[in-house]
Structure 1
């Protein structure tokens, strides 16, 4: 494939991502599911098609996506719900792999246990991108969002380790339960150690320089350093990326300036947008490849293998969630912290339907070797590829498109009034802390000409406190809908009109030669920050 063809494919992919996201916004459908369908439609057209290279995906795509998700995850939320997170990201992955393996060994003609376990490990880890996108849009409670995030961050390491062990057994390298357990513990412990080491190094670099461009460069290379270092010493590179992201994100507010954080966040939002779009388009384009490999299988064999794969994935998750809720309450608290409580029936239902699979499943199954140590073809590799693709398709499109209606039907969402009240109380507390510090500084000041500066800043903080208090008062009688506040609606219109007028005047001065472009960009940057800080249409 020549360079011009690659460029055309990339441009077409970016255009498809932009258009698909617009369609998703208009229809309310999750963009990942729509992108997957678009990828399938494109794959059916004549012309070149992109094939999934598992090593490229695992090395260049998965690390930045996991790192970005970890940066924006709640370490406190994961810790408070540690029992459920471990249950879903480790124990459920192991149970899924073993159950699929047993099903293949018992009911699929000629299939081996090791090959079935390899498939089970690949299809076990959910990809939370679609569920989180929908969950945030419909207002899922923070606890459920933390559970979905925590599971999605930690389950990949479990699945890839199990897959490696199962693939070794299937290719004739031998299998030992104790050896597999030791390998799993070694990979997990090593991944945690590498992640903490990388996080410490990044923290040191942040002390050395607060230049936004330097911190951007450090942030961009961090997931690749963590992943490659973990893989180089034969531990879990995926877990190293996740631990590094969680540690860095948890301490980021103290070690990064505001300007650097704004820029770094903007860069990662763009990376997420492009990579996630490319990933889901790539998933859809694998359809012709996986279908071609089924020519030498009986229809009954394909149907049985598909039923086992999809059935285990769809049925085991809700059963697992239900059974684990009957564990002793003291064990819930011991493993999950003070905030760990049993899930309600509605929460179990929503979490059961949040298990969408994604690119990690296909990348994992594609890593299976073509031949065994003896030179024979890997057992049923084409069938395993098809089953993995089918699971991704059923969960991503089927569960992904119905997740929002399900959440709406069960009425499980965060109360927007409670969220608004919590945020304004936190704003008030932060403003009071700032006012207290200002008073302390004024008591120790030595320059009389600073009085005016103290008075001006105190007036600004007191005005903010008054504004937050009025917002809280407007929420006192609200139920679950934030009332429209004419004051903030008017403020939005007035501020927007003033900023537009200022921007037009700056452009006019540039056009008549009174303002150089370099100065225009500086002043536009100031206006952009003011525009970002405009009051929301509803007080939050």
Structure 2
């Protein structure tokens, strides 16, 4: 117990240090954590072994649910065909390509086992790619595609893996039976997710305590996964569907206090789980390498080259093929040609193809292969190498690639849309205030200061919209008056907080009251945009 606690605390320190270094250096935290895990794995002393069931039941559900809460159901609907092509068709093609490649080049690998390994290495994990891409200015549409692909491809891959392992154990494989199983598992997961989300929504409508609401939120992904697994349908899809639906309805289901807490809670959960996951990935290298002692070098090199090469080549080839198909086929596989949602450009295709980093789901899936699987240690090494090459290789080069591509439609267009929406929201508030003042004389007496504050905000947003609309390049313009006002507002908040601390330290303000007033200031400060680096 003491050793386990020491490992957990040590891992926490490494996660915090790696993220601090990442913020200062610009290097991806995921890469730093994997390298730290590899270094620790070769040190003498206790080490952690990846338990696939623990990962699938305890790690994957909350990570998927947190990602689903932040995703846009509307954007996923708009890009549904492209997301389906990436998360279903591309996963299937990758699994088959890896399986046939291994079966043709490595005599010890049967086709069913090769497809099982192909299924394990086929689903990209978007965590690392998105953490880098958002900082480097990945356009909103590509963020939606990467998020949507990452949410749904795990269900496809795990279903293919189950079918392939069953075929390897039973010795028989039927395409029709496999397709039928896949459809049943997927439909069942979808249904479980919707039913559970509806039940949680009804509970939330009757809950007023933010703590109880957040406890419900924390339990939802595990309940969805467990219920689906008990029914032998897709737990991954159940979690994703529940998260998407509840996230889309959060405005009507949760109070503002509950939403603030939920975002903070899940942000911390993501930070810790992702950090430990990347450390755990790195620590598996010594054990995986030790399993290669019974294989000659040529076999190892061939299997690794086929697996890694296929994974790296299939994704860009698929995207290029989808982009150059006739319009009707293209709509199904590579994009939706409707107005406002044009096919992806060549630069966007390159960025999307480079966002195929693999992660812990690949290792967890590979480790579920039965102990008597032919060439199991060799195949585990191949899967691990795919994770290392994509996480480290693509992770280190993704941000420089995005900067060189100079993709359009990034910060300027998003900032413009946000300020247009803010101005429209304030206008709606002013209209509501006028209606209230006309109906209630009491409101009319106190409406003037409320109207003045809203009109000041509206003027600020309108000025910002005009400034952003005149921008010709993709660099956010600087408004010196706006920055001066922002600095002044932050200084005023600092002065208020210092005065409250002085009252508390002098014994004039109780700690409980201090916390109430401090929380008010924290909420005000939290909505202010960050100051640009000086």
Distance change >3 Å, CA 340–CA 330, structure 1 → 2: farther
Question: What is the distance in 2 between the residues matched to 1:152 and 1:223?
Answer: 16
C-alpha deviation, 1:338, in angstroms: 5.1
Q: Does 1:466 align with 2:459?
A: yes
Q: Does 1:187 align with 2:185?
A: yes
Provide the residue aligned with 2:395 in structure 1: 400
Picking from 484, 487, 495, the partner of 1:490 is: 484
Question: What is the distance in 2 between the residues matched to 1:40 and 1:306?
Answer: 19
Provide the residue aligned with 2:243 in structure 1: 245
Provide the residue aligned with 1:319 in structure 2: 317
Q: CA RMSD in A?
A: 1.5
C-alpha deviation, 1:219, in angstroms: 0.4
Distance change >3 Å, CA 535–CA 280, structure 1 → 2: closer
Whether contact under 8 Å (2:487, 2:531) holds in the other structure is: no
Whether contact under 8 Å (1:332, 1:341) holds in the other structure is: no
**1:133-157 CA deviation, whole Å, 9 max, x = no partner?**
1111011111100000000000000
Question: What is the distance in 2 between the residues matched to 1:208 and 1:50?
Answer: 42
The equivalences for 1:229-268 within 5 A come to: 229-268=227-266
Ranges in structure 1 where 5+ consecutive residues have no aligned partner: 371-376
Provide the residue aligned with 1:373 in structure 2: none
C-alpha deviation, 1:474, in angstroms: 2.9
Distance change >3 Å, CA 483–CA 73, structure 1 → 2: same
Whether contact under 8 Å (1:85, 1:151) holds in the other structure is: yes
Whether contact under 8 Å (2:146, 2:352) holds in the other structure is: yes
What is the SS of the residue equivalent to 1:57?
helix
Q: Does 1:429 align with 2:420?
A: no
Whether contact under 8 Å (1:488, 1:537) holds in the other structure is: no
The equivalences for 1:518-533 within 5 A come to: 518-533=512-527
Distance change >3 Å, CA 363–CA 524, structure 1 → 2: same
**1:36-83 CA deviation, whole Å, 9 max, x = no partner?**
111101111111111100000000000000000011011122111112
Q: How many residues matched? A: 528
The equivalences for 1:52-451 within 5 A come to: 52-172=50-170, 174-332=172-330, 336=336, 339-370=340-371, 377-445=372-440, 448-451=441-444
Higher alpha-carbon deviation: 346-355 or 508-517: 508-517
**1:102-131 CA deviation, whole Å, 9 max, x = no partner?**
112111022100110010000000000111
Distance change >3 Å, CA 535–CA 271, structure 1 → 2: closer
Whether contact under 8 Å (1:128, 1:356) holds in the other structure is: yes
Whether contact under 8 Å (2:138, 2:410) holds in the other structure is: no
**1:473-517 CA deviation, whole Å, 9 max, x = no partner?**
333433332222222222222222222222122122222222111
Whether contact under 8 Å (1:488, 1:536) holds in the other structure is: no
Whether contact under 8 Å (1:333, 1:341) holds in the other structure is: no
Whether contact under 8 Å (1:421, 1:475) holds in the other structure is: yes
Whether contact under 8 Å (1:157, 1:236) holds in the other structure is: yes
Question: What is the distance in 1 between the residues matched to 2:513 and 2:373?
Answer: 64
Question: What is the distance in 1 between the residues matched to 2:51 and 2:208?
Answer: 37
TM-score by length of 1: 0.95
Whether contact under 8 Å (1:140, 1:413) holds in the other structure is: no
C-alpha deviation, 1:195, in angstroms: 0.7
Question: What is the distance in 2 between the residues matched to 1:308 and 1:170?
Answer: 21
**1:188-211 CA deviation, whole Å, 9 max, x = no partner?**
000110111111112111211132
Provide the residue aligned with 1:28 in structure 2: 26
C-alpha deviation, 1:332, in angstroms: 4.8
What is the SS of the residue equivalent to 1:171?
helix
TM-score by length of 2: 0.96
What is the SS of the residue equivalent to 2:249?
helix
Whether contact under 8 Å (1:202, 1:218) holds in the other structure is: yes
C-alpha deviation, 1:533, in angstroms: 2.5
**1:344-395 CA deviation, whole Å, 9 max, x = no partner?**
111111111110000000000111111xxxxxx2211111110000000000
Question: What is the distance in 2 between the residues matched to 1:119 and 1:202?
Answer: 36
Ranges in structure 2 where 5+ consecutive residues have no aligned partner: none
Picking from 488, 494, 497, the partner of 1:500 is: 494
Provide the residue aligned with 1:37 in structure 2: 35
Question: What is the distance in 1 between the residues matched to 2:113 and 2:306?
Answer: 14
Question: What is the distance in 2 between the residues matched to 1:312 and 1:481?
Answer: 38
C-alpha deviation, 1:174, in angstroms: 3.2
